[in-house]
């Protein structure tokens, strides 16, 4: 059942992604101001959306673990965070490459970019520190607290381009300001959908690995007891 769901999500996500890439590269015209480079938007933004959704699920999982002390929630949180961190890296790298063409620089230390980098570093810290704690309950509790603490940065990343007095080079949110041409909206949302489906498949695979790790711990205890 789990494998079927993983393959179905992955396959549908990949097919939508392939169709979308064909549309983005072969059908859509160049953007008037940016030329061809605007096409990075179709992976840059969906990567951020997928990551934000997964960070939110991880937050819920972390809070639920602290309340119920059920390890299934801890597994869910850590699986989501690992996949989300990978997508955050995609977002940062593609954004930097876009910035190199549009601004002439690879990086700007403004609110949006810096808060997104901090987000990446916080969750990377979560993933690196987690294996350092051996005792499962202590590890899950510390991970949950760190995950809740790290999530504080997400609203800052989200709002950084919406605050009027925020000095940011990052473009304003195109969906809310109407900066996205109607013919770009379909491929944009299809891109978001494909990234969500693919990230869902990855989380399920990662979740299975967390369960296997837990089973390994219990078999190891059995080996020592015998």
Partner 1 sequence: MDQINLRFLFYGYSAAWLIVIAYVILLVRRGQKMDKELTRLKNLVDERKN
Q: Report DSSP letters for 103-136, one per residue.
A: TSSS---SHHHHHHHHHHHHHHHHHHHGGG--SH
The residues, any chain, with a CB within 8 Å of residue 118's CB and separated by 6 or more, are 153
Spell out a b/e string for 185-195, using b for 16 or more CB atoms within 10 Å of the CB, else e: eebbebbbbbb
Question: Per rule CB under 8 A, is residue 209 in the interface with partner 1?
Answer: yes
CA distance linking residue 27 with residue 184, whole number of Å: 10
CA distance linking residue 6 with residue 4, whole number of Å: 5
Question: Per rule CB under 8 A, is residue 89 in the interface with partner 1?
Answer: yes
Question: Per rule CB under 8 A, is residue 93 in the interface with partner 1?
Answer: yes
Which CB sits closer to partner 1, 36 or 156? 36
Q: Least CB distance from residue 135 to partner 1, whole Å?
A: 20
Q: Nearest CA to 154 among 81, 93, 103? A: 81
- How many residues in the shown chain lie near partner 1 by CB under 8 A? 33
Question: Per rule CB under 8 A, is residue 55 in the interface with partner 1?
Answer: no
Question: Per rule CB under 8 A, is residue 100 in the interface with partner 1?
Answer: yes
Given candidates 43, 45, 146, 161, which one binds partner 1 under the rule CB under 8 A? 43
Question: Per rule CB under 8 A, is residue 168 in the interface with partner 1?
Answer: no
Given candidates 101, 129, 152, 175, which one binds partner 1 under the rule CB under 8 A? 101
Q: Which residues bind partner 1 (CB under 8 A)?
A: 34-37, 39-40, 43-44, 47, 83, 86, 89-90, 93-94, 97-98, 100-101, 202, 205-206, 208-209, 212-213, 215-216, 219-220, 222-223, 226
């Amino acid at each position: 059942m789990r494998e079927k769901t993983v393959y179905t999500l992955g396959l549908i996500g990949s097919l939508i992604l392939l169709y979308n890439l064909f549309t983005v590269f072969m059908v859509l015209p160049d953007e008037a101001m940016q030329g061809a480079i605007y096409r990075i938007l179709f992976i840059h933004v969906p990567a951020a959306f997928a990551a934000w959704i997964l960070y939110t699920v991880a937050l819920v999982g972390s809070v639920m673990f602290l309340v119920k002390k059920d390890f299934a929630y801890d597994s869910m949180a850590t699986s989501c965070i690992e996949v989300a961190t990978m997508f955050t890296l995609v977002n940062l790298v593609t954004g930097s490459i876009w910035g190199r063409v549009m601004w002439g620089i690879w990086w700007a230390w403004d609110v949006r970019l810096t808060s997104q980098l901090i987000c990446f570093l916080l969750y990377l810290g979560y993933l690196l520190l987690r294996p350092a704690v051996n005792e499962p309950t202590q590890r899950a509790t510390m991970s949950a607290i760190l995950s809740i603490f790290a999530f504080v940065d997400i609203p800052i990343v989200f709002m950084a381009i919406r605050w009027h007095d925020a000095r940011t080079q990052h473009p304003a949110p195109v969906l809310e300001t109407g900066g996205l041409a109607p013919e770009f909206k379909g491929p944009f949302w299809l891109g978001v959908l494909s990234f969500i489906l693919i990230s869902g498949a990855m989380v399920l695979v990662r979740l299975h690995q967390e369960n296997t790790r837990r089973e390994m711990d219990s078999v190891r205890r059995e080996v020592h007891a015998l």
